[in-house]
Amino acid sequence: MSHSSSPSTRALNSLWARHNAKWRRPAQIVGQWNDAGSVDPELLLYKVRGNWWETLASTDATLLVTREYEHLIMALCVVDGAPSLSFMELPHPSGLAVDPAKGVIHVASTRNPNQIVDLAPVTGYIDRLDADSDWFDKMGHSLVPIRSRFFPGCFYLHDLALVDGELYANSVGQNAVVRLAENGGYERVWWPRCIEIDDKPVFGQNYIQLNSIAAGKDLSSSFFSASTDRLSSRRPGHRNFPVEKRGVIFSGATREPMARGLTRPHSARLHSERIWVDNSGYGEFGIIADESFAPIARLPGWTRGLGFAGQTAFVGSSRVIPRFKQYAPGLEVEKSVCGIHAVDIESGRVLGSIVWPFGNQIFAIELVPRQLTQGFPFFVNGKRFHQKQKRLFYTFTIDHNTGSNAHER
């Protein structure tokens, strides 16, 4: 576009001032998202029921949870007897995988294109004459992004899992499991036999909603959940996609269903040598026994997200998106809540819950040792920490980046 006259000095100064003011908030930079840092306050309001904080405190862990439709990752723990809640904004976060050996947490961010964002705890700070380090006592060991890898949006990455030290993901859009290389490469490494037609796997379209990984020591000893094992013209996302009792758990070894009769299963996990899973369409959490699903507890919402600390399971529940209410035939949709419930895995008793009244969808739940991290540098009700956040991102170091001129604690 050309103009017949040159812009005035006033117009240029106004234009340049607007440019200068953009991308000034650390939340925007770490989220790679211009609107980050302006989260709706209502999304962070919560209520607790029962012995929620007492149960979480007893684990000595930090609970990480992705709330995908609100574009939030949250961290919850108890520090010196007081609840601590923090968050970071990312586009549509879904799966989580924790690598304790490397001290890295992987997050799937599933807008188009997909990303895998790696987070690590801050361990120190760079000595600076133009900034002090008063942030460290409050925000030391906060999680910050250290890397992001991009993948095609058609992958539709869901669950993440570490198997024998390597990162794997459900590529729901390809009906397959992919191994994700650190250099951004990928390889399809597993798929169920049901997607093969004339011995050729169909990777070009989502047919079965292959959505979670119960990670074993290798792929053969792992298990995978899906909404069906039948290819049809009615596909996941269609209003008339059949779900009632169509869900399966696939064996990694045989690539065939080893359990049937679930309804939209999610979050399959191996714990105490048993397969646990959320039977989402009925709001249930339970185990696979004798090749079928046995419920342990029924919760108020679409169950998704599952993490363990000993005999306690932390199970997510979500509201049901109205246009998909037919996917939840066993739920009272209007009574569904967005929250996390601590469940005794022997008795099925709910020990305590946290609920976000304005929340929507929980996707993944993972627990990490509290000594590794207490969460993120953005705190619920933490506006007074704005300057400390800026100093943290100005001077932080992590393990592989510390040197003689940095302080570690």
The series of mean pLDDT values per 10 residues for the chain, 409 residues long, is 74 90 82 79 96 98 97 96 95 96 95 96 96 92 96 97 97 98 95 96 98 98 98 91 97 98 98 97 97 97 98 97 91 96 98 97 97 93 80 91 43
Q: Given the structure tokens 């993948």, which residue do they identify?
A: 151
* pLDDT at position 400: 64
Q: Which of 394, 307, 381 is nearest to 44 (CA)?
A: 381
Residue 402 CB neighbours (<10 A): 15
Angstrom distance (rounded) from CA 328 to CA 180:
32
- In angstroms, the CA 62 to CA 95 distance is 17
CA distance 30 to 392: 12
Whose CA is closest to 151, among 179, 113, 181, 177? 113
Residue 99, classed as helix, strand or coil, is: strand
For 156, 176, 255, 353, 394, the CA distances from 204, given in Å and listed in that order, are 12, 10, 19, 40, 44
Q: What is the pLDDT of residue 403?
A: 34
Residue 105's alpha-carbon distances to 43, 70, 101, 121, 366, in angstroms, are 23, 20, 11, 9, 10
User: Is the CB of residue 187 less than 8 Å from the CB of residue 167?
Assistant: no
Matching residue, tokens 């013209």: 233
| 145-181 burial: b if 16+ Cβ within 10 Å, else e | beeebebeebbbbbbbbbbeeebbbbbbbbbbbbbbe
- CA atoms of 67 and 43, how far apart (whole Å): 10
Q: How far apart are CA 146 and CA 30, in angstroms?
A: 9
Domains of the chain from N-terminus onward: 48-404 (2.120.10.30)
What one-letter code names the amino acid at 153? G
Distances (CA, A) of 409 to 77, 84, 129, 135, 379: 20, 21, 20, 13, 21
Sheet of 143-151, strand order: 93-99, 104-109, 114-121, 143-151
**Confidence at residue 4, expressed as pLDDT on a 0 to 100 scale:** 56
The C-alpha atoms of residue 108 and residue 73 are separated, in whole angstroms, by 11
**DSSP three-state, residue 126:** strand
| Confidence (pTM) | 0.93
Q: Which tokens in the block code for residue 164?
A: 């024998």
